[in-house]
Every structure is written in C-alpha cells, then in structure tokens.
C-alpha cells in the first residue's frame, strides 16, 4: 500500500498547527485513506467509495461525525454529506443554538473536476486524527459534500476532461439530465439543486466553498481564489469577504502556491498579452448566488494543467486554511452576516444592483507563464498557440478588476405579487430558496399596483439549460389590477430580499423571466385576419382624424413601416378594442403595500 502524504516546508508552520508536517500524532486509520492516496493520486475512487467512507467516518468518530443523506439523484443514488464537529453540534438546531459558524465544503458540482472530493476526505481524516487544526472542529461545524453531481460522477471514464491532467478517469461535467448545476442556483430545475438548497436552508452555512478545476491556457499559476461578497452584495459584509479572501491567499502563498483573486482566463482567447478581466458573477453561479443571501462564498479553481497530486494538495491546503480562518474569525464574520440580514429587512425603496460591469481601468501585473510560439495551423487554418512548459517566463500583462454596479433598480417598498395563475411556477422556487411568502385568501377587486409592460421581448434562438431565455425592455407603471383569491404576496422585508429582487425584477439577468418561465406572456394568441383589418382600418380612419394624421406621419417618417404590410395593419389592430391588453404584460407585480 502506498500512502502519499503532503510534505510541507517549515514556513508552513507560521499558522500554528494548521498544515500537516508529515508527522502523525497517532496511527492513521487505514480504512479512511482514499483510493486516490493509495494510488499516489493517479486515480480517484467511484461513488461507492464515498458511501463507504461516509459510513466509516461516522463509525470511527461517533462523537464528531454524522453521515447524512440529504437527497436522491434522478438515477436513484443517495446524495451524501458528512457533518463534522467536536462541539456536539451535529444537527443544525444545535449549531444555531450554540451560534457556531458552519462551513460548507462542496466538491464535484462538475464531477470531472474532482480534486475537492479527495482533498476533503484527506483533510477531514487528518483533523480528526489530530494531525492538523486540532481545535478547528470545536469552534465550527464542517459540512462536507464530497460529490454534488453524483450521477455525473458515475459517468466515469478517461478523457472526460481533455484539458486536464489526471486522474486517469473521472466523472462528467453535467448531471444525468444534462444540467450544469453551476447554472442552476436561481432557477432550481434539477433534483440535485433542490436537495442542496434544502440542506443549505437547514444548516445556513456562513461560508461555502465551491471546488473546481479550471480550463484555459498553460501557465505556472496554480489556483484562483475568488470570494464574494467583495465586489457585490452587502457593502459592509464585503469587508469580511475581503478579509477572508486575503487571509486564505496569504496562507497559500506561505505554502509556496501562487493564488490569484480573479478567474484566470485571457481577455482574448489564446492571447496571453491581452491579460485578464475580473468580473462579478450572476446568481446562476454559486459565487453570485450566496452573497444575495448575505453569506460568503469562495470559488476555488485549481489549474487543470497541474498534475492531480499537486491539485489535491492545493485544494487540501485551501480547505485547511478556511477552517483555520473560521476558527479565528468566524464569530466576527457570523455577526457581520447577521447584521447584513437585518439591513436586508430595510431594502424596500432602496436601489439594488441587478448587474455589475468591469471598467476599462487596468493595471499591469506580473504573471508566471511559459514561453510560447504562435503559428498558422494547417489543421484549423487559423492562428495556433503552443506553450513551452520547460521554459518558464514572467508575463507582464494588464488586469482589469475594478467592478462597479451597472443596471440598478429600486426595490419595491412592500414586495411582489404573484397571481394565482402563476403560483404553480413560482411557489416551488420560493420553497426551494426558503423565501417567506403569504398566500392570500381574499380577492382584490381593484388595487393600484406596479405592472411591467415589455416594449420589446426577445427570446433566445438557442436552448440554454433547457430554456428559451428572454430579454425584455420596459419599465414599471402603476395600474389598477384585479387579483383573484389565492395570489401570493412576497414581502421584501426579509433577509433574502436581494435574492427576491434578483428573481423577480424583469431586467435581472437570472430572473425567472430571463430564464423563460413566463414566455407565454410575450406570445400573441389571437389575431385579426388581414381582410378584416383592412375594413376596420378604414372605419377607424373615417371616425378619428387624429389617428389618420398619426398614420400618415408614420408612413412619411418610417420607410420600414411604410414597406411592411404586417406593421401597417398591426398599427390599427393594436388600437382596436380586440387587441390583447395582456400581451407583453409581465405577470408579476410590485406593491408598496404590505399584504397580510
């Protein structure tokens, strides 16, 4: 049996006992050592290993570990998590009663990027065995999900990740239903995401780690550490997010790693000299979603061209650093998150950023890359780049990482109204996210509400995650509305108010409208035959000289209109009583009133 341990330098001891120095305080439990470690990190185990290890950890550490099933995949596999703490807080109720920070370490959302699974099992065993961070589990709860995308993990073969070095075989990026789970946080299409959010709602982690291996060019830099809120989310909580990010980056540098705080992808593909552009993620991604809940998220991206043993080492050290930082600062960060929740209760009537943009402002940075050559390819017939890994080279390149709010919308003072006709779409989403709402038992004959009528509605031509997405333009205006009994009122005064705005503002990039859940509202269902419109138009022109002048002016000023039979007839149809007054009317409404 080959048991590979991570050997670190003396400098690694600068954070007390955090990093493993190669000396165990007691014999390592052999049946808790992963298949990957035994192979020298050349392979990774199948999901049956996760099931066996989960049960064995609980068996060997009954006072510190629980193996829980939090869901089932579409193919019937159990979704497993390990709860670890030496505080006695092995249930969410006890953790919340003790006011302990919970850290969610989530591996395998993209099951081919499986570094986090093997690193997580390794560091958990070492902590429980007393090798590292001996007191960490007394001050927090570790919630470890080895594999989020379980069905994808079992679509197991070589070359599932052609841009990645090791392990020899690995899982697949998407689920058995071909969902990319890291696009599903808001829309919640998948059974896996519903289960994950239920777990998240129960435990309410202060910090979540989303563990990946990135694609991209070849270079020496080994990991990207991106944290939010830093650029978006609650402004005060950003201070805690930045403290967390910089502390982990400092720890990793001490370990000899070269972490960057931005996603390491060239501004222009295959052009290293184009540098990098950092961005704020939309809430379809974990790093955009969790800040809307006033919680801290770290996206960890090891570099896929590093060999698998090195990637697991980086990931293990990142998890270890996180646990150490939470041990030191978790109570303060937990307080900051609670204060952000309180501020969210007062979001009504205040501006909220729906999107962010990176400015053109840039600065030069040194970046550890390799020499490369560029030539014309006889295969692709275009530019080809080749990196020379035996020739390290420092690149001086631009980095754009100044991020500012872009599209801004004022939140409603009261909340959002969902008519009963759309409740079957919206209610499961609200339940999945743990958002509070009220189902009214009283009809409203005529109530003044804000409604949104789209001036333009542009559906996507291609399917995106099984949806025909929609982009609209328009604005909110007050109109009298009749509400049938059974409508849903979502009060804005709750901790997840920023998430609510992101879900229901029509211009938000990952709103339910944007994902195409209300596309029927923008489809014309009735029509007027052209020969009928011809007759109706003449009657309308004869009765209304103002309309006649408007028509004549449009003919004279708009050549495209004048040349289009459809638009000329539609001019009159839209002004006729038979026109559908609900066409392009977004079915969700806003109110300044609080409904009880």
Rounded to whole angstroms, the Cα distance separating 213 from 299 reads: 10
- Over 70: is that where the pLDDT of 497 sits? yes
pLDDT in tens, 215-235: 889 999 999 999 999 999 999
Residue 368: name the closest of 260, 212, 270, 252 by CA: 260
Span 148-162, mean pLDDT? 97
Span 374-401, mean pLDDT? 96
Q: Are 190 and 177 in contact (CB under 8 A)?
A: yes
pLDDT in tens, 425-483: 999 999 999 999 999 999 998 999 999 999 999 999 999 999 999 999 999 999 999 99
- Over 50: is that where the pLDDT of 241 sits? yes
Structure tokens at 59: 């068996």
- Residue 250 to residues 247, 259, 312, 322, 328: CA-CA distances in angstroms? 5, 9, 19, 11, 15
pLDDT in tens, 510-568: 999 999 999 999 999 988 899 999 999 999 999 999 999 999 999 999 999 999 999 99
DSSP code string of 484-541: -TT-EEEES-STTHHHHHHHH-TTSTTSTTTTTTTGGGGS------HHHHHHHHHHHH
Rounded to whole angstroms, the Cα distance separating 240 from 236 reads: 8
Q: Are 320 and 224 in contact (CB under 8 A)?
A: no
Looking at residue 17, its pLDDT comes to 29
HSE-CB at 233 with a 13 A cutoff on CA atoms is 33
Lowest mean pLDDT among 10-19, 35-44, 171-180: 10-19
| Sheet of strand 363-376, all strands in order from the earlier edge strand to the far edge | 276-277, 383-400, 363-376
Span 19-41, mean pLDDT? 73
pLDDT in tens, 54-85: 999 999 999 999 999 999 999 999 999 999 99
Task: Check: pTM over 0.75? Answer yes or no.
Answer: yes
Q: Provide φ and ψ at 433, rounded to 5°.
A: -85, -5
- Over 90: is that where the pLDDT of 16 sits? no
Q: Which domains does the chain have, with CATH numbers?
A: 10-342 (3.40.630.10), 357-405 (no CATH), 411-524 (no CATH), 530-573 (no CATH)
- Over 60: is that where the pLDDT of 26 sits? no
Rounded to whole angstroms, the Cα distance separating 297 from 241 reads: 8
């Amino acid at each position: 049996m080959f048991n590979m341990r991570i050997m670190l330098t003396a400098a690694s001891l600068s954070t007390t006992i955090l990093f493993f120095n190669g000396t165990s305080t007691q014999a390592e439990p052999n049946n808790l050592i992963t298949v990957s470690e035994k192979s020298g990190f050349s392979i990774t185990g199948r999901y049956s290993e996760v099931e066996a290890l989960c049960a064995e950890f609980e068996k060997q550490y009954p006072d510190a570990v629980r193996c829980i099933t939090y869901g089932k995949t579409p193919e019937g596999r159990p979704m497993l998590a390990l709860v670890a703490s030496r505080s006695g807080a092995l249930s969410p109720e006890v953790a919340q009663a003790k006011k302990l920070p919970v850290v969610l370490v989530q591996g395998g959302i993209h099951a081919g990027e499986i570094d986090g699974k093997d690193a997580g099992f390794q560091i958990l065993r070492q902590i429980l065995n007393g090798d590292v961070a001996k007191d960490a589990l007394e001050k927090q709860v570790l919630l470890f999900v080895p594999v989020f995308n379980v069905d994808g993990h079992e679509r197991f073969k070589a070359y599932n990740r052609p841009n990645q070095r090791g392990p020899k075989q690995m899982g697949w990026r998407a689920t058995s239903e071909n969902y990319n789970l890291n696009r599903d946080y808001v829309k919640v299409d998948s059974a896996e995401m519903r289960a994950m959010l239920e777990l998240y709602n129960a435990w309410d982690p202060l910090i979540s780690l989303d563990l990946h291996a990135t694609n991209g060019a070849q270079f020496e830099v080994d990991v990207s550490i991106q944290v939010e809120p830093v650029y978006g989310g609650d402004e005060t909580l950003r201070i805690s997010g930045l403290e967390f990010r910089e502390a982990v980056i400092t720890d990793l540098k001490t370990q000899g790693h070269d972490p960057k705080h931005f996603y390491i992808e060239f501004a222009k593909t295959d052009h290293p000299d184009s540098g990098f552009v950092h961005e704020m993620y939309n809430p379809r991604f974990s790093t955009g979603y969790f800040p809307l809940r006033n919680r801290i998220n770290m996206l960890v991206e090891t570099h896929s061209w590093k060999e698998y043993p090195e990637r697991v080492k980086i990931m293990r050290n990142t998890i270890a650093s996180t646990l150490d930082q939470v041990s030191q600062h978790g109570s303060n960060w937990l307080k900051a998150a609670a204060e952000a929740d309180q501020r969210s209760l007062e979001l009504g009537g205040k501006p909220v950023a729906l999107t962010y943009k990176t400015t053109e402002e840039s600065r030069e940075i040194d970046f550890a890359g390799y020499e490369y050559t560029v030539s014309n390819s006889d295969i692709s017939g275009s530019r080809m780049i080749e990196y020379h890994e035996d020739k390290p080279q420092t690149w001086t390149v631009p980095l754009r990482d100044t991020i500012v709010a872009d599209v801004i919308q004022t939140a409603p003072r009261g909340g959002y109204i969902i008519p009963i006709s759309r409740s079957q779409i919206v209610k499961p989403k609200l339940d999945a996210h743990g958002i509070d709402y009220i189902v009214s038992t009283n009809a409203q004959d005529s109530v003044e509400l804000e409604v949104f009528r789209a001036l333009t509605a542009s559906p996507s031509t291609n399917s995106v995650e099984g949806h025909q997405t929609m982009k609209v333009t328009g604005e909110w205006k007050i109109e009298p509305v009749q509400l049938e009994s059974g409508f849903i009122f979502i009060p804005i005064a709750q901790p997840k108010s920023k998430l609510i705005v992101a879900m229901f503002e029509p211009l938000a990039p990952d709103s339910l409208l944007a994902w195409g859940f209300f596309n029927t509202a923008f489809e014309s269902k009735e029509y007027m035959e052209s020969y009928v419109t011809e007759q109706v138009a003449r009657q309308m022109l004869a009765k209304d000289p103002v309309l006649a002048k408007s028509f004549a002016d449009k003919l004279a000023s708009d050549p495209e209109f004048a040349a289009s039979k459809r638009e000329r007839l539609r001019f009159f149809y839209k002004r006729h009583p038979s026109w559908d007054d609900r066409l392009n009317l977004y079915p969700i409404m806003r109110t300044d009133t609080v409904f009880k």
